[in-house]
Amino acid sequence: MGRGKYYQPEIERMSRKGLRELQNERLRWQIRRCLTKSEFYQEKFKKAGLKASQFKTVDDLVHAPFVTKQELREEQVKHAPFGRYTLAPPKDWRELHPSTGTTGIPVNTIWAEKDVKNITEVTARTMWSFGVRPGDIIQNGFSYGLWVAGMSTHYAARQLNCFVLPIGASMTGRQIDYLLNPGSTVLLCTPSFALHIAENLMERGISSKQLKLRLGSFGGEGGTETAATREKIEKGLGIDAYDYYGLAEIGPTFASECTAKAGLHWAEDHHVIEVINPETLERCAEGEMGVLVITHLTREATPMIRYWTNDYGRLDSAPCSCGRTHARSVGGILGRADDMVIYRGAKFYPVQVEKVVRSFKELGDEFVIELTRDEKTYTDVCTVVCECLDFQEDRQALERRLQKNLKEELMVTPEIRLENFGTLERTTFKAKRIMDKRK
């Protein structure tokens, strides 16, 4: 149980040098066991001409091949049902977590007994870092079904002696009822669901002052660290809002913001975080944007060595004002490589559109990026669809201003379509921002 400001001060405030030594030692253990027990890794490393003895420090990781999600899928098909990278003996298996995703068959991830313990520990640490304390009433709006974050935060809430409401990602009306009575103090869900709850509170004429809610942490999609979104969530619910991150193959809720709101802190005692330039496949310098590649240092059942997450971010190991030494991704995760829109040579992410749309007080929070094809000219057309909050006297002027601001952010000019408030679909889970209607 944590005391004072830190949950595990000896780990959270460890010197960078001490942390690096711990990582090196754990990496040697992980590589040795993978190359002894897993034919999957044996084949990969043999093909690259690499031996376990060549990996002494995390810097040596740059020689190791990446693991991609597609590769894991193929491995599971060939060596059904769990692939040859599943190492722990079946008697130690405790939970199966298939990864969600809009494309392809799910990838199965297994948590062994020890993994569940570590995941609970790390999640409790993140929750403590953004201010959860014993006695809090935690409204857990993360999905308990297919998504991993419901279970990890549930276990961690128990670990922290909190009272947890396992409501999951549904039922906006019931969510509001529980916010009123018993009066949840902590809300966990996706940022789009948080905005949806805030919108519904307003519609029901309930002021955030009537709630006991103190704070919330929001993950599953980017956006919480976008200034306009954070402000809307904080004002709408009367709370402090923090960013949360995880992914099925690596783990749920293992990175979060601390109360300094200065980017996602990584748990470097359990993971090696690398940022890789997707073109050169070399490590980026600190602060440079690239693809996050993550290695498990302690995972037993389905260990990943250099897992290519497809998520873009940057890394900063400068000390945080909170006193924790673990590196951060400032600005959060920009987006999945799959979510990138390529339009007339420009590349952009939905979070960039979100940043602009939510800076307009005349517009609602929802938006969709629609991709269509102009049959006459055979060119792609990208339209940003938003909602006007009230009757706008001069919609055209508003459209022009929005288009101008979007052009500055995206480096390309999308078309604009303004709809009436309430037209676009609301979601309780991850919002679908890109509608690709091209044939």
> Where are any strands of DSSP class E within 219-276?
240-247, 251-256, 264-265, 271-276
Q: How far apart are CA 234 and CA 242, in angstroms?
A: 10
End-to-end CA distance of the chain: 55
Amino acid at 65: P
Binding range to Zn ion, per CB under 5 A, among 67-75, 104-112, 222-230, 255-263: 255-263
Residue 257 Cβ vs Zn ion, minimum distance, rounded to whole Å: 7
Per CB under 5 A, 14 contacts Zn ion: no
Residue 261 Cβ vs Zn ion, minimum distance, rounded to whole Å: 9
Per CB under 5 A, 327 contacts Zn ion: no
With contacts defined by CB under 5 A, how many residues of the chain interact with Zn ion?
Answer: 5
CB nearer Zn ion, residue 123 or residue 140: 123
Contact set for Zn ion, span 338-367 (CB under 5 A): none
Q: How far apart are CA 261 and CA 233, in angstroms?
A: 14
Binding range to Zn ion, per CB under 5 A, among 27-35, 70-78, 322-330, 413-421: 322-330
Contact set for Zn ion, span 301-320 (CB under 5 A): 320
CB nearer Zn ion, residue 258 or residue 333: 258
Per CB under 5 A, 330 contacts Zn ion: no
Residue 266 Cβ vs Zn ion, minimum distance, rounded to whole Å: 11
Per CB under 5 A, 258 contacts Zn ion: yes
CB nearer Zn ion, residue 24 or residue 325: 325
Binding range to Zn ion, per CB under 5 A, among 7-15, 21-29, 96-104, 252-260: 252-260
DSSP 18: H
Q: How far apart are CA 120 and CA 184, in angstroms?
A: 21
CB nearer Zn ion, residue 13 or residue 401: 13
Q: How far apart are CA 190 and CA 430, in angstroms?
A: 7
Contact 311, 276 (CB under 8 A): no
Binding range to Zn ion, per CB under 5 A, among 3-11, 146-154, 324-332, 394-402: 324-332
3-state secondary structure of 250: coil
Q: Which of 322, 356, 385, 416 binds Zn ion (CB under 5 A)?
A: 322
- In sequence order, what are the residues at sequence separation of 6 or more whose Cβ sits closer than 8 angstroms to the Cβ of residue 222? 191, 332, 333, 334, 335, 349, 350, 351
Closest CA to 327 of 335, 319, 339: 319
Per CB under 5 A, 260 contacts Zn ion: yes
Q: How far apart are CA 316 and CA 98, in angstroms?
A: 31
Q: Which residues bind Zn ion (CB under 5 A)?
A: 258, 260, 320, 322, 324
